[in-house]
Amino acid sequence: MHSLIFITALIGFASCKPCANEASNNELILSLNKDLLRSLENQGGLPNPSMHLALRLSKHHNLAKESEHLTKLKTHLHNDIQSSLSNSQPVVGIMALYTLALKSSCFNLHTVTFTVRERTETLLVHLKKQMDREKDHIAYTQRPLTNYYQYSLGVLALCVSGIRVHNHISHKLIKAVEHLEGIHIDSYAMAGMALQCVKDDGSHVHNPAELDTALSSIKLKLLAAGRADGHIGNEFSTGLAVQALLAMGSPVSECGAAMEAMRTDARNNTYHNPMAISQTLPALQRKTYLHVKTKECLNEDDTLVLEPLEPVTVIQSNIKVSVTVEVVSVSGVVTAFPVEIPTDSSLLQALELLQEKSIGFTFKLESSLWGPYLSEVNGEQARQSDRRYWHLSSDGTALTEGIKDFKIVGAQKITIKNTIY
């Protein structure tokens, strides 16, 4: 009943905001497209395949810059995956995104190889092996070696690449949708796109009706996660959720409120993280990752030009705010650290200032596609291999942004808690 009410609300919202402002929407999309393209020049660390995927799914292109980024993916990211494979580290998520990025550029995937223990095999063969490892781990432990988001990415990448997904692989994902609660909206969205691709492909499954039930369940969960402001889950999960709904056959009108919420976010510069833009931009153009399967790189628009930007001078505020950083260890011990920081500092800057005070607070970072994240605090680790992470909240409200993106504009208590998942 609640889902039907939400659907009706979405349709009503869409009907009162028709596409009369199409020119403004197109201008907004073009601006996001340029922001994402410009961010390629400012990337730190490894090139991001998600950004490449979004640029390739877009209507407008700068083919020279996209080609340059593709070269970086095929060298720097490729070498990093090669290193992980050689060390037997699970890499299904980044390997799947790499596959999707290459496919979006119509690159011949059968020419991409990795060598492990003196044996050379193609990218797709290695991706299938990674999925087999994940599937076996689920069989023994009831959970993937990584997580269901990465598992779904693996299913999706194989499927859009024309590789038949083994029914034992897809069945594990179907069962996860049926029986697991508390999965993040992003994971449901990715599972929806993956299983829809499996269905469209006509791949064999143990029970086709079971697949349909899983897809219906995902759709209901996504719709039920809709908020009054139009977001599905939160500001940073809405893009993937809309992609999934469109991929699963929802009419555009059903996503009207979510589309408008994303446009509002874009105007308010909520999507300053390139990863957030990369998941939102396709959705705003009514594209999904499933479009990669049929993409043809022919007669593409090559008119996207980046105008030079005026240099921006960042003036640090003289106004300071008091922040308490509370660390909750795995044993439940709570330690509080006070610090004063300039207003509008990032959480990362706050933690750096706190560490500089040499009062017993230390931390270490690891990199991700979304930016740096905490891997160790006060000598205690929260590692994916242990199914743990550092959960961040401000005055009891979970953060939806990473430590580099979250800005502190007022006095508050930041809680960093060693959490199991």
Q: What confidence category does residue 318 fall into, taking pLDDT thresholds of 50, 70 and 90?
A: confident
Q: In this predicted structure, what is the pLDDT of residue 13?
A: 41
Q: In this predicted structure, what is the pLDDT of residue 277?
A: 97
142 phi and psi angles, rounded to 5 deg = 70, 20
Q: How far apart are CA 329 and CA 89, in angstroms?
A: 27
> Which residues make Cβ contacts (< 8 Å) with residue 65, sequence separation at least 6?
37, 40
Cα–Cα nearest to 156, from 82, 78, 50: 50
- CATH fold for domain 320-420: Ferric Hydroxamate Uptake Protein; Chain A, domain 1 (2.170.130)
Q: In this predicted structure, what is the pLDDT of residue 182?
A: 62
Sequential DSSP letters for 18-87: -GGGHHHHHHHHHHHHHHHHHHGGG--SS--HHHHHHHHHSSS--HHHHHHHHHHIIIIIHHHHHHHHHT
pLDDT greater than 70 at residue 314: no
Q: In this predicted structure, what is the pLDDT of residue 178?
A: 82
* pLDDT tens-digit series, residues 141-193: 988 999 999 999 999 999 999 999 999 999 999 999 987 666 789 999 999 99
Q: In this predicted structure, what is the pLDDT of residue 32?
A: 96
Question: CA Rg, the chain, in Å?
Answer: 22
Which whole number is the average pLDDT over 213-221? 95
Residue pair 323/395 in contact (Cβ under 8 Å)? The answer is: no
Q: How far apart are CA 417 and CA 325, in angstroms?
A: 11
Per-domain boundaries in the chain = 2-294, 320-420
Q: What confidence category does residue 304 fall into, taking pLDDT thresholds of 50, 70 and 90?
A: very high
* pLDDT tens-digit series, residues 109-122: 999 999 999 999 99
342 phi and psi angles, rounded to 5 deg = -65, 140
* pLDDT tens-digit series, residues 119-138: 999 999 999 999 999 999 99
Query: Rounded to whole angstroms, what are the CA distances from 218 to 154, 189, 294?
Result: 18, 7, 24
Q: In this predicted structure, what is the pLDDT of residue 8?
A: 39
Q: How far apart are CA 272 and CA 274, in angstroms?
A: 6
- CA 166, distance to chain mean position in Å, is 25
Q: How far apart are CA 40 and CA 66, in angstroms?
A: 9
Structure-token match 């079971």, residue found: 210
Structure-token match 């064999």, residue found: 204
Q: How far apart are CA 36 and CA 56, in angstroms?
A: 11
Cα–Cα nearest to 51, from 27, 33, 24: 33
Lowest mean pLDDT: which of 28-32, 204-208, 328-332, 369-373? 204-208
Q: In this predicted structure, what is the pLDDT of residue 70?
A: 97
Helix (H, G, I), strand (E, B) or coil at 294: helix
Q: In this predicted structure, what is the pLDDT of residue 180?
A: 67
pLDDT greater than 90 at residue 402: yes
- CATH fold for domain 2-294: Glycosyltransferase (1.50.10)
* pLDDT tens-digit series, residues 325-369: 999 999 999 999 999 999 999 999 999 999 998 789 999 999 999
* pLDDT tens-digit series, residues 365-395: 999 999 999 999 999 998 776 778 999 999 9
Cα–Cα nearest to 100, from 136, 53, 45: 53
Q: In this predicted structure, what is the pLDDT of residue 4?
A: 40
Residue pair 53/100 in contact (Cβ under 8 Å)? The answer is: yes
Q: In this predicted structure, what is the pLDDT of residue 2?
A: 43
Distance separating the N- and C-terminal Cα atoms of the chain: 31
Q: Work out the angle between the directed axes of helices 78-86 and 92-104 (0-180°, nearest 10).
A: 150
Helix (H, G, I), strand (E, B) or coil at 358: coil
**pTM higher than 0.95 for the full model?**
no
Residue percentage of the chain with pLDDT more than 90: 81
* pLDDT tens-digit series, residues 223-238: 999 999 999 999 999 9
Q: In this predicted structure, what is the pLDDT of residue 340?
A: 94
What is the chain's mean pLDDT, rounded? 90
Q: Work out the angle between the directed axes of helices 208-224 and 238-247 (0-180°, nearest 10).
A: 140
Q: In this predicted structure, what is the pLDDT of residue 183?
A: 74
Residue 371 structure tokens? 């930016």
* pLDDT tens-digit series, residues 248-276: 999 998 999 999 999 999 999 999 899 99
User: Residue 55, Cβ neighbours under 10 Å: how many?
Assistant: 28
Q: How far apart are CA 51 and CA 33, in angstroms?
A: 10
Q: In this predicted structure, what is the pLDDT of residue 174?
A: 93
Q: How far apart are CA 359 and CA 337, in angstroms?
A: 8
Residue 129 structure tokens? 């092996």
